C-alpha cells in the first residue's frame, strides 16, 4: 500500500512533467529569437558576456540552437550545487533572461518525481525501492490476471458491465483490464526509471544487452604542452563543429574545466531527443581529438547496448516517438496512477469483508 502511494505520486508528477518542454517553449518568450541573416557570435564573446552576469559561477558550456531559438550559457556545479541558464541572442549576445533551474514549478514537479520532495539522499532510494516493488507487482499482477478458462477471459480484455452491477465489481474490472493493457508499457517505464534508481540495476541492464563500456562520464584529459596552446581554442572547436555538423539542431561547446581537462563538444542532429548526440573531445593545447571508453562518445562508435543506454531518457518520456510518443506516455502514466487507487479499493474491500466475517465470541 505504501509503495502504491509512492507510485501514484511518481505517475502523476510524470504526467505533469511530460510536456514541460512544450509548455515552457509556449510560455517563455525569451527561449526564442527572430531568425535573421548573419553568423552567430563566437563562444568566447558569449562566454565573456555571460560571465559578467554570473561572475562568481562556473560556466559549464555554451549551447547554440537553431536560428529561431536563443543560445544558452549553462552554469552548473555539483559542489556547491547550482544550475543556471542564461538565454542569449546568438546573433549579438544580448542577455534575454537569467534562470535558476533549481527553482520554479517544473523543478518542483521533478523533485517530486525523483525524490518525493525529500532530501536527495533519502528520497532517491525510497523512490527507487518503491519502483522496484512496483515492478514485482506488475509481474505478479499479470500472472494473477491470466484467466483460468475461456469464460473468465471474456471479462479480462474489455468491460462487460451489466445494469445494476455493483461498484466493487466495476472497480475490480477496471483494475484488471487497465492493469493488463498498461503493464507492458508500465514495465518499460519502470525499467528505464530503475536505471537511474540503482547503479547495480543500470550496469546489470547494460551488461545484459551486451555493453562493455563504462556508464560513468570521464574526461579524457589533455597533456600539458602549454607551448602549443592556441588562442581561444573554444572558438576553433566551435568552427570545427559547425563544419562537421552543418545541419545539427544544436551544438554545445564546453570550456576546459582545468588546465589538464579536454575541450568537450557535442552535436545533436534532432530537436526533442538526446540519444543521437555525437560527443567529441579535444586536447585543449594541441586540439587533437581524444577517444573515450564510456557511452558518451561518438555516435558512429556506439553499439546496440550503448544506444539503448543513451535512449533511456527518451524512452522513459516517450520522446523517442516524438510528440505522439509523449502523448501516449502521458495517457499511460495517468492510467498507471489509477492502479494503486483501484488496487487499494480491492484490498480495503476484502479486508473489511474478512473483518465482518469473523465469528463473534460470547
The answer to whether residue 88 scores a pLDDT higher than 60 is: yes
**Cα distance between residue 70 and residue 29, in whole Å:** 10
Q: Residue 118 pLDDT > 90, yes or no?
A: yes
The alpha carbon dihedral of 174, 176, 178, 179 has a sign of positive
Residue among 250, 256, 252, 251 nearest 224 (CA): 256
3-state secondary structure of 140: helix
* pLDDT for position 346: 78
Q: Is the pTM higher than 0.85? A: yes
Number of H helices, E strands in the chain: 11, 8
Cα–Cα distance for residue pair 49/52, rounded to 1 Å: 5
Residue 158, number of CB atoms within 10 A of its CB: 9
pLDDT tens digits for range 89-109: 999 999 999 999 999 999 999
Looking at residue 353, its pLDDT comes to 61
- Mean pLDDT (the chain) is 89
- The answer on pLDDT for 354 being more than 70 is no
Report pLDDT digits (tens) over 288-314.
999 999 999 999 999 999 999 999 999
**How do the domains of the chain map onto residue ranges?**
1-32+106-188+326-355
Question: pLDDT class for 171, splitting at 50, 70, 90?
Answer: confident
Q: Give percent above pLDDT 70 in the chain.
A: 90
Indicate if the pLDDT at residue 228 is higher than 70.
no
- Tell me, rounded to whole angstroms, the distance of Cα 221 from its chain centroid: 27
- If one compares 317 and 352, the residue with the highest pLDDT of the two is 317
* Chain centre distance of CA 238: 27
Helix (H, G, I), strand (E, B) or coil at 79: coil
339 vs 101, residue with greater confidence: 101
Q: How far apart are CA 268 and CA 279, in angstroms?
A: 9
pLDDT at residue 362 above 50? Answer: no
Give the model's pLDDT for residue 170.
79
**Strands, E, within the chain: which ranges?**
59-64, 71-77, 82-88, 95-100, 250-254, 262-268, 278-283, 289-290
Amino acid at each position: 500500500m505504501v509503495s502504491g502511494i509512492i507510485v501514484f505520486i511518481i505517475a502523476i508528477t510524470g504526467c505533469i512533467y511530460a510536456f514541460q518542454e512544450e509548455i515552457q517553449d509556449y510560455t517563455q518568450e525569451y527561449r526564442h529569437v527572430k531568425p535573421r541573416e548573419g553568423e552567430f557570435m563566437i563562444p568566447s564573446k558569449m562566454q565573456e558576456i555571460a560571465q559578467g552576469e554570473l561572475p562568481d559561477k562556473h560556466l559549464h558550456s555554451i549551447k547554440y540552437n537553431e536560428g529561431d531559438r536563443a543560445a544558452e550559457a549553462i552554469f552548473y556545479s555539483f559542489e556547491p550545487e547550482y544550475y543556471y541558464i542564461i538565454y542569449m541572442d546568438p546573433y549579438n549576445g544580448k542577455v534575454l533572461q537569467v534562470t535558476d533551474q533549481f527553482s520554479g514549478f517544473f523543478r518542483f514537479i521533478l523533485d517530486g518525481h525523483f525524490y518525493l520532495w525529500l532530501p536527495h539522499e533519502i528520497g532517491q532510494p525510497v523512490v527507487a525501492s518503491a519502483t522496484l516493488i512496483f515492478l514485482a507487482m506488475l509481474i505478479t499482477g499479470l500472472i494473477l490476471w491470466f484467466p483460468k478458462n475461456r469464460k473468465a477471459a471474456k471479462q479480462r480484455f474489455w468491460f462487460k458491465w451489466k445494469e445494476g452491477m455493483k461498484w466493487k465489481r466495476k472497480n475490480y474490472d477496471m483494475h484488471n483490464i487497465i492493469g493488463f493493457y498498461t503493464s507492458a508499457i508500465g514495465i518499460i517505464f519502470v525499467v528505464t526509471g530503475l536505471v537511474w534508481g540503482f547503479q547495480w540495476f543500470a550496469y546489470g541492464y547494460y551488461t545484459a544487452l551486451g555493453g562493455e563500456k563504462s556508464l560513468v562520464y570521464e574526461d579524457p584529459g589533455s597533456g600539458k604542452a602549454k607551448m602549443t596552446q592556441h588562442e581561444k581554442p573554444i572558438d576553433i572547436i566551435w568552427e570545427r563543429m559547425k563544419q562537421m555538423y552543418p545541419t545539427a539542431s544544436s551544438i554545445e561547446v564546453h570550456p576546459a574545466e582545468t588546465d589538464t581537462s579536454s575541450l568537450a563538444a557535442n552535436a545533436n542532429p534532432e530537436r526533442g531527443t538526446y540519444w543521437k548526440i555525437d560527443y567529441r573531445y579535444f586536447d585543449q593545447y594541441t586540439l587533437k581529438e581524444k577517444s573515450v571508453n564510456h557511452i558518451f562518445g561518438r555516435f558512429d562508435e556506439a553499439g546496440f547496448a550503448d544506444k539503448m543506454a543513451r535512449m533511456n531518457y527518451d524512452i522513459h518520456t516517450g520522446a523517442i516517438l516524438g510528440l505522439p510518443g509523449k502523448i501516449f506516455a502521458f495517457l499511460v502514466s495517468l492510467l498507471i496512477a489509477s492502479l494503486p487507487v483501484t488496487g487499494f479499493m480491492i484490498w480495503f474491500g476484502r479486508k473489511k469483508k474478512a473483518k465482518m466475517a469473523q465469528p463473534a465470541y460470547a
